[in-house]
Amino acid sequence: MKTLLYVLWFTMVYTSAYGSSFDRFFSDGTLRIDYFYAGNSAKTEIFFDELIKEPYWGGPERLPENKDDMGNIRYNLYDKESGILLYSKGISTLFQEWQTTAEAKTIARTMSGTATTPFPVAKVIFEIEERNTKTGLFSKIFSLEIDPADYFIRPELRTPCEWKKLTDNGDHANHVDIAFIAEGYAKDEMPKFHSDVSAISGYILSQSPFNEYKDRFNIYAVSSVSEESGTDIPGARIYRNTILNSSFYSFDIDRYLTTSDNKQIHNLAANVPYDFIFILVNSDKYGGGGFYNWYAMATSGNSVANMVAIHEFGHNFAGLADEYYTSEVAYSDFYSFDVEPWEPNITTLIDFDSKWEDMTNKDIPVPTPRESKYKDALGVFEGGGYVAKGIYSPKQNCRMNSINAEFCPVCSRAIVKKIMYYSQ
- Residues of this chain that interact with Zn ion (CB under 5 A) are 345, 398, 400, 408, 411
Q: Among 260, 193, 178, 262, which residue's Cα sits nearest to residue 226?
A: 193
Strands, E, within 272-380: which ranges?
276-281, 288-290, 296-299
Q: Among 132, 120, 134, 141, which residue's Cα sits nearest to residue 36?
A: 141
Minimum distance of Zn ion from residue 390's CB (angstroms): 18
**Strand-by-strand arrangement of the 85-91 sheet:** 85-91, 73-79, 124-131, 138-146
Minimum distance of Zn ion from residue 92's CB (angstroms): 17
Q: Are the beta carbons of 234 and 247 closer than 8 angstroms?
A: yes
Minimum distance of Zn ion from residue 123's CB (angstroms): 43
Tell me the HSE value of 133 on the side-chain side, using a 13 A CA sphere: 16
> Between residues 270 and 318, which has the closer beta carbon with respect to Zn ion?
318
Q: Are the beta carbons of 246 and 295 closer than 8 angstroms?
A: no
Report which residue type is found at 270: A
CA 312, CA 1: separation in Å to the nearest integer?
57
Q: Are the beta carbons of 281 and 297 closer than 8 angstroms?
A: yes
> What is the maximal distance between C-alpha atoms in the chain?
79
> Between residues 73 and 400, which has the closer beta carbon with respect to Zn ion?
400
Minimum distance of Zn ion from residue 344's CB (angstroms): 9
Minimum distance of Zn ion from residue 384's CB (angstroms): 9
Minimum distance of Zn ion from residue 72's CB (angstroms): 20
> Between residues 187 and 375, which has the closer beta carbon with respect to Zn ion?
375
Minimum distance of Zn ion from residue 400's CB (angstroms): 5
> Between residues 287 and 394, which has the closer beta carbon with respect to Zn ion?
394
Q: Among 179, 287, 295, 185, which residue's Cα sits nearest to residue 229?
A: 185
- Which one-letter DSSP state was computed for residue 306? H
Q: Are the beta carbons of 302 and 280 closer than 8 angstroms?
A: no
Minimum distance of Zn ion from residue 312's CB (angstroms): 14
Map residue 221 onto helix, strand or coil: strand
> Between residues 244 and 411, which has the closer beta carbon with respect to Zn ion?
411
Q: How far apart are the first and last CA of the chain?
A: 36
Report which residue type is found at 327: S
> Between residues 106 and 404, which has the closer beta carbon with respect to Zn ion?
404
Q: Among 364, 37, 22, 397, which residue's Cα sits nearest to residue 174?
A: 22
CA 65, CA 120: separation in Å to the nearest integer?
18
> Between residues 146 and 318, which has the closer beta carbon with respect to Zn ion?
318
> Between residues 60 and 409, which has the closer beta carbon with respect to Zn ion?
409
CA 238, CA 158: separation in Å to the nearest integer?
29
> Between residues 287 and 344, which has the closer beta carbon with respect to Zn ion?
344
Minimum distance of Zn ion from residue 345's CB (angstroms): 4
Minimum distance of Zn ion from residue 407's CB (angstroms): 6
CA 248, CA 203: separation in Å to the nearest integer?
24
Minimum distance of Zn ion from residue 270's CB (angstroms): 33
> Between residues 120 and 383, which has the closer beta carbon with respect to Zn ion?
383
> Between residues 281 and 419, which has the closer beta carbon with respect to Zn ion?
419
CA 356, CA 411: separation in Å to the nearest integer?
10
- Which one-letter DSSP state was computed for residue 371? S
